Amino acid sequence: MTDNKRADNNKTHKKTEQFSKKIKQGIINLLPYFIIFAVTIIFWELLLRLQIGRGLSKENLFFLSFIPAEALALTLINGLFPQKVSRILFPITLLAVSVYYAGQLVYFRIFGSFFSVSMMRMGTDAVTNFGWAMKEVLKKSSLYIALILIPVVIVTVLIITKRIKCKPYHPLLHLLIIPLIAILWIAGIQCLRIDGTSKQSAYNIFVSDTSDTDTTISRVGVMTTFNLELSSYYIDWGNNDSINKDSILSNDPLGEVAKKGKIPALNGKAKINDSFDFDELSENCSDDSLRELYDYIGNRNPSHDNEYTNLLEGYNVIYICAEGFWSYGVNEKVTPTLYKMANNGIVLPNYYNSFLNTTVNGEYAFSTSLWPDVSRKASYGVDVGSMPQSSMCYMPTGLGNVFKNEGVPSYAFHNYYGNYYRRKHSWANLGYENTYFMDDGMTFSTNWPASDYEMMLQSVDSYISEDRFFAYYMTFSGHGPYNSSNCIYNDNIDEVKSILGEEASKYDEEALGYLACNLELEKAMEYLVGRLEAEGIMDRTLIVLTGDHYPYYLEKKGRNSLAGKDLSDMDMYHSTCIMYTTGLKENITCETYCCNVDIIPTVLNLLGIDYDSRLYIGTDVFSKGIHKAVLYDKSFITDKVAYNAKAGKAEWKIDTSKHTKKELDSYLSAMDELIESEYTASIRIIEDNFYYHLWKDSGLMTKEEADAEIEREELVKEEMKDLRSLKGGIKEVKRTAKLLNQKWDAIIEEDDE
């Protein structure tokens, strides 16, 4: 070997050695970032779980599988820059993530659930409409927010004292880190398979696009859910669950769980519309998604006429979705009218309210008998969910439209603004012909919340003289918080304490506040029932009243105080659906397990109104077949089991020794498949504008009517866009006005000087 070659080899060896040293040093430099991010995320996740009462168990520790990938991803954006920049960027990155965790904590404190990425653009609305409640929530959460910020403070101090150097590392490491993150992420997904691949498993919750944010966070963590939702929201990642047209269970699922097909022939006429030939519709359909819906709806088990069909034929109906209404808010002393209504007429002791928060979700299920989209992509393309989105679709099954077809005038009332949740659009589309809102047909002495009693005073005369009528109400007075920051509380708390006397001492102060807010609904119902009785029509009027969600503002102590016992997660959803009339010879008690979506089919059956039961996801409670109370996260309660989807646990009500584990697991899987298909179908009905195509393809709409409907839908879409633009314009005007006021104040100060 020549001297020149030897010299070249030595140079190459030195360069390789130097490069190797830089890489090794780079690894040493990035380790502090990685370790701090990993430990901090674990700390935040555990803190949030303990604070919200989830506890620690195998089922909710799967977030650990993704810590290496997530910590490395955050490491990737630190250390690439010069040391001076990294010393600033590192604590800022930690602070940004801590703010997200703190935001989730505060949101949970207010609403009882977590927010999704798609809801983040609604943050201004939340602050605007719930800002008055945030001060107290922030105060109560201050200790936990301080704990969340501890890692940020520690890292900042260590950087200032130069205990953490924040040295940069070689750019090549960044190129190596990217595929390593992907490998670690895939490894994390594989770890989820430890929990199996059933519908209830952590793995399925992770990959399914229909999983809701709360369940996903409970099973795989806040940070993992954030990454999932970003991927789902922007690049459409995830499994779009198909609808299983064979997910129809037999009449006794546990005994015959493997049997598919329709329930055996029942007495009574099937509630179907012969105009719909789903086999032909499916055969002639070129759209795969629409064809899948035709197949699924056509194969659903219809309800049949039963002994309660036509029982209330010709009745008026007053349909009320009551803010935060809950069984334990019905007090014989404080709310005697509500107590009488809840225990007379048609009584449903196994009714569950499916939702823990978000009024528009419970209202939508109660008003359409469809499940709202609460999945990780729920608000994609719209800003407030399924109810306003439905206004851009054909909705002939809406209650107002059903009564319109019967020649019955419809009215709707809400003691808040019509543009909030876009009710002006969605209500009109559901067929409510005459709508009244705050400052649009009605005025109120308070703004947030407004009085239910004042709404009733202003509304009853609109319809009570009609030969027959349908009236819909969305109430407001039951909204939390249930303390002195609430004007309804201030108006009624002394009266509640006076009514209860010494008995008031057994209730938590917040529980008393809840009763104070519901006293306003009591006054409204007392007035309504009194007017109906005075007109002599209470015996041919059906009042249906249930809540939009349980009162999430009530903390655990307040809930247990009202209930007089410690409530489990499932117990909180057990509620009341009032179906009150004085026209029955005796009360009817139906033990069927049911929930929000089941009420419309039940009411239509009682009234003897023809409808195709396959088009409603809910089921008439008096019909034969499978009955279940389903919660928003796909937990469910039947006469055999209460299944908690978040915890992945089943509490059996039957003697399980008579069945094998395989049979019990098969029952859970079959029920879950049924619910998953119903949920997915509900979402797709709106996404695909299903009712429009069904009516048009079945010849129930003329070409002119079809064209007019499309024109209407396009107009609503434009109006929605205009509303969002207007909101942005209003914000800009307010910002400009604020600046002008500041300048004006400065001018005044100069003049004074």
**Mean pLDDT on 34-51:** 91
pLDDT at residue 261 in the model? 36
pLDDT at residue 457 in the model? 98
The helix (H) or strand (E) run that includes residue 437 is strand 434-438
Q: Taking all residues of the chain, what is their mean pLDDT, rounded to a whole number?
A: 86
Condensed to tens digits (0 to 9), the pLDDT of residues 368-408 reads: 999 999 876 665 445 567 999 999 999 999 999 999 999 99
Kindly provide the b/e burial profile for residues 16-33, where b requires at least 16 CB atoms within 10 angstroms of the residue's own CB: eeeeeeeeeebeebbebb
Q: Are strands 594-595 and 351-352 parallel, antiparallel or unpaired?
A: parallel
Return the C-alpha torsion angle 590, 595, 601, 607, nearest 10. 50
Condensed to tens digits (0 to 9), the pLDDT of residues 231-265 reads: 876 666 666 566 776 655 444 456 543 333 344 44
Do 469 and 303 touch, CB atoms closer than 8 A? no
> DSSP code of 208?
B
Name the pLDDT band for 113 (thresholds 50, 70, 90): confident
Do 282 and 694 touch, CB atoms closer than 8 A? no
Give the neighbor-by-neighbor strand order of the sheet with 649-652. Answer: 629-630, 636-637, 641-644, 649-652
How many C-alpha atoms does 465 have within 13 Å on its Cβ side? Answer: 2
Nearest to 430 by CA among 467, 397, 408: 397
Report how far residue 381's alpha carbon sits from residue 515's, in angstroms, rounded to the nearest whole number: 38
Condensed to tens digits (0 to 9), the pLDDT of residues 187-226 reads: 999 998 887 767 678 888 888 877 888 888 888 999 999 9
Do 395 and 429 touch, CB atoms closer than 8 A? yes
pLDDT above 70 for 554: yes
Name the pLDDT band for 168 (thresholds 50, 70, 90): confident
pLDDT above 60 for 74: yes
pTM of the model: 0.86
Report how far residue 629's alpha carbon sits from residue 671's, in angstroms, rounded to the nearest whole number: 11
Name the pLDDT band for 59 (thresholds 50, 70, 90): low
pLDDT at residue 291 in the model? 95
Report how far residue 753's alpha carbon sits from residue 749's, in angstroms, rounded to the nearest whole number: 6
Condensed to tens digits (0 to 9), the pLDDT of residues 623-635 reads: 988 899 999 989 9
pLDDT above 90 for 288: yes
Residue 186, classed as helix, strand or coil, is helix
Report how far residue 369's alpha carbon sits from residue 513's, in angstroms, rounded to the nearest whole number: 32
Name the pLDDT band for 18 (thresholds 50, 70, 90): low
The percent of residues in the chain predicted with pLDDT above 90, rounded, is 60
Report how far residue 329's alpha carbon sits from residue 519's, in angstroms, rounded to the nearest whole number: 9
Do 345 and 584 touch, CB atoms closer than 8 A? yes
pLDDT at residue 721 in the model? 75
Nearest to 321 by CA among 373, 367, 384, 371: 367
Kindly provide the b/e burial profile for residues 106-133, where b requires at least 16 CB atoms within 10 angstroms of the residue's own CB: bbbbbbbbbbbbbbeebeeebeeebeeb
DSSP 42-90: HHHHHHHHHHTT----GGG-GGGGGHHHHHHHHHHTSSSS-HHHHHHHH
Nearest to 327 by CA among 345, 344, 352: 352
Do 630 and 593 touch, CB atoms closer than 8 A? no
pLDDT at residue 740 in the model? 39
pLDDT at residue 642 in the model? 96
Cβ neighbours for 734, distance < 8 A, ≥ 6 positions apart:
none
Name the pLDDT band for 590 (thresholds 50, 70, 90): very high
Identify the residue with better confidence: 723 or 467. Answer: 467
Residue 474, classed as helix, strand or coil, is strand
Q: Please provide residue 419's backbone torsions phi and psi, each rounded to the nearest 5 degrees.
A: -80, -15
Question: How many whole angstroms from its chain centre is CA 245?
Answer: 25
pLDDT above 80 for 717: yes
Crossing angle of helices 123-160 and 3-51, rounded to 10°: 130
